[in-house]
Chains A and B, each alone.
Chain A
Amino acid sequence: MRALFRGLVPVCRKEFLHIIRDPGTLFFALLIPMLQLFLFGFAVDTNIRQIPTVVLDESHTQESRRLLEAFAGSDVFWLKTYAQSQDEMYEAVRAGKARVGIRIPYDYARRLLDGTTASVLVLVDGSDSSVAGQAMSTATGVALKESLGRVLPGGAMPVEVRPSVLYNPATRSANFFVPGLIAILLQVMAILMIALSLVRERERGTLEQLTMTPVAPLGLMLGKMIPYGALTFAELCAILLVMRTVFLVPVHGNVVLLLVLSIPFLLTVLGIGLVISTKARTQAEAFQLSMGTILPSVFLSGYIFLIENMPPFFQAISHLIPATYYIQILRGIILRGAGITELWVSATVLTVMGCGSTLLAARLFVRRGAS
């Protein structure tokens, strides 16, 4: 048993010395995830408001102005410019000056008075699907409300939906995205630091020296994982503090449980970093491979897109990505106050992945050697 982990303590101690001897690297390693948290935490807002809109009002009547006010009043449209012709309206959308064009025809008011259907053209730039979707549903809503207001003058609406949102009542984007962002930031930090550390030893020849000593592969692997794991864990605590105090994301569940369940995730990503280091020859190569893990973790982990909406093939892939499970844990505890009874499956999967990636790294390392 001891032989299996031989060298763990001296390697671990040495690795801590490397970390404190290089305060510059330490500073950036801790600062960059924090900067990114601020950057992405503030930038990512999926609530769509104030879509730039170009208006072509051919009717110029009280009725048409009333309709435009209804559009503006929805907060979704921002009536930015007024076009004089249909060509001008199309041009504004094509040039990207506006995302939506609204054309009210000259006979709008007359048709309303006649009781025939008055059509209004809503031109939507579909290049951003979420903006287009929001624009269309809101436009339909505005039209429906106008129509009902005409049919039932002064009366109450027959049906009214009163949504009651659980867990994130203000539907703030930050509450949803910041917990997911934690997983991505920690993953990049951990993988990059540990992979570079091992590849650096390979480049400098100290790894060759180590392979000539009785250090066991697992001793070396865990000896590297503990210091970098501790560093990433410290960063996690700092990020959680910023999330709570700056982004005002409330934590509904148990913070201690969150910290404990973070350990299997850190084990997994550190293991992946070590696997990368057995494949990379240079630090540049290790850097590129580490960066290659980001995109799948961002797009297929449920961080941005709902896993349930993905094609079955990608759903299957998303279940192979560690960040998927950690994001479930983060959102579960932070947003919904989930406990271990709801999260034990994710925690177990991560634990298995963590042990698996570590053992795989040790195995690949033995096969690869120091060259």
Chain B
Amino acid sequence: MTEIIAADHLTIRFGTFTAVSDVSFAVSKGELFGFLGPNGSGKTTIIKALCGLLKPTEGTGRILGMDIRKDAAEIRRHVGYMSQKFGLYEDLTVAENIAFYAGVYGLDSGRAAERTREVQALTGIEPYMTRRAGQLSGGWKQRLALACAIIHSPEVVFLDEPTAGIDPVARRALWDLLFQLSGQGVTFFVTTHYMDEAERCGRVGYIYLSKLIAMGTVAELQKLPDANPAGTSRIQIQVENPSEMLDGIRHMQGVREATIFGHSIHALAETAHVAEMRRKMPQASIETIEPSLEDVFVTLTYRIMESQR
């Protein structure tokens, strides 16, 4: 297993504000690593530090074996980056945008032409080459941004909330592209705040208030002790009118969390009280379930909020 991205006790402070607090993780070659967390939790700051744009206050990191403190310039030649703003020039055509980034990454004309053909084939953007980037739909802008971000065949690509504000079809198309590339050995670091996207990733890290509080595969996270406190059960309650029932269930004895999930209610309840709940709501069907990734993160977040109180 080759370690492509490594963060080693990374801490970044801006004055008295700690944006990233003692974060460590490693991502292997060809992995698709998802980084989940609310806005302002420090996701973008970590990416900037790993690309050498910000000097960490403490700790360090390595990209492809290069030190992020010393080899920033060299790292940037091997890394692709795509932000939610896409970084496209809207008054330039698709072809001009691609040519610009090929030039910026120092590709000679032969290599640029070759790579342009390859990213065209990969993203299917060929029919739009002469169109201004500003006239593309959100989904196509996103594909163009990806094409620009990988024009120099980077071994690592950082995607910072790449699907914010994009329709579901385009989102799925982008993820298909990412899987295709990761199959070819490209390593991805993707930040998101969509649970379903995080679930697609091979491994997920959850960052909250500048701290990395959980990391692992989806299955590992679902079994985390912190997300499944001893003596509790994760249950699904099928009732006819979940929105009217929710408040009552929340106030039942032994219920720690409850939320609506489609036409049912998901709750975290003390196992000892589940039988009593069945008795109180004879009309409802109650069954034990595995926690979803969202359940896991909500539970973890609540625990931190409680511990800070």
Chain A residues in the interface with B (C-beta under 8 A): 3, 6-7, 9-11, 13-14, 17-18, 21-22, 204-206, 208-215, 369-370
Chain B neighbourhood of A10, CB < 8 A: 99-100, 102-104
Q: Which of B10-53 contact A (CB under 8 A)?
A: 51, 53
Q: A14-B96, A212-B53, A214-B105 are in contact. Are A3 and B81 (CB under 8 A)?
A: no
Q: Which of B53-109 contact A (CB under 8 A)?
A: 53-54, 73, 76-77, 79, 81, 83, 85-92, 96, 99-106
The answer on a CB contact under 8 Å between B106 and A369 is no
Across the A-B interface, the 5 shortest Cβ-Cβ residue pairs:
A209-B87, A10-B103, A205-B85, A212-B81, A21-B91
Specify which of A9, A11, A206, A212 is in contact with B76 (CB 8 Å cutoff): A212
Closest B residue, CB atoms, query A3: B73
CA distance A369 to B48 in the complex (A): 10
Chain A neighbourhood of B100, CB < 8 A: 10, 13-14
Interface of A is mostly: helix
The answer on a CB contact under 8 Å between A204 and B85 is yes
CA distance A208 to B105 in the complex (A): 15
The answer on a CB contact under 8 Å between A14 and B77 is no
The answer on a CB contact under 8 Å between A214 and B106 is yes
Chain A neighbourhood of B88, CB < 8 A: 206
The answer on a CB contact under 8 Å between B76 and A214 is yes
Question: A97 → chain B, closest Cβ, in Å?
Answer: 56
Chain A neighbourhood of B104, CB < 8 A: 7, 10-11, 210, 213-215
CA distance A298 to B51 in the complex (A): 45
Chain A neighbourhood of B85, CB < 8 A: 204-206, 208-209
Specify which of A3, A17, A211 is in contact with B92 (CB 8 Å cutoff): A17
CA distance A162 to B85 in the complex (A): 73
The answer on a CB contact under 8 Å between B103 and A205 is no
Chain A neighbourhood of B53, CB < 8 A: 211-212, 369-370
CA distance A18 to B53 in the complex (A): 27
CA distance A205 to B103 in the complex (A): 19
Question: B46 → chain A, closest Cβ, in Å?
Answer: 14
The answer on a CB contact under 8 Å between A209 and B83 is yes
The answer on a CB contact under 8 Å between A14 and B87 is no
Chain A neighbourhood of B99, CB < 8 A: 10
CA distance A10 to B35 in the complex (A): 33
The answer on a CB contact under 8 Å between A18 and B101 is no
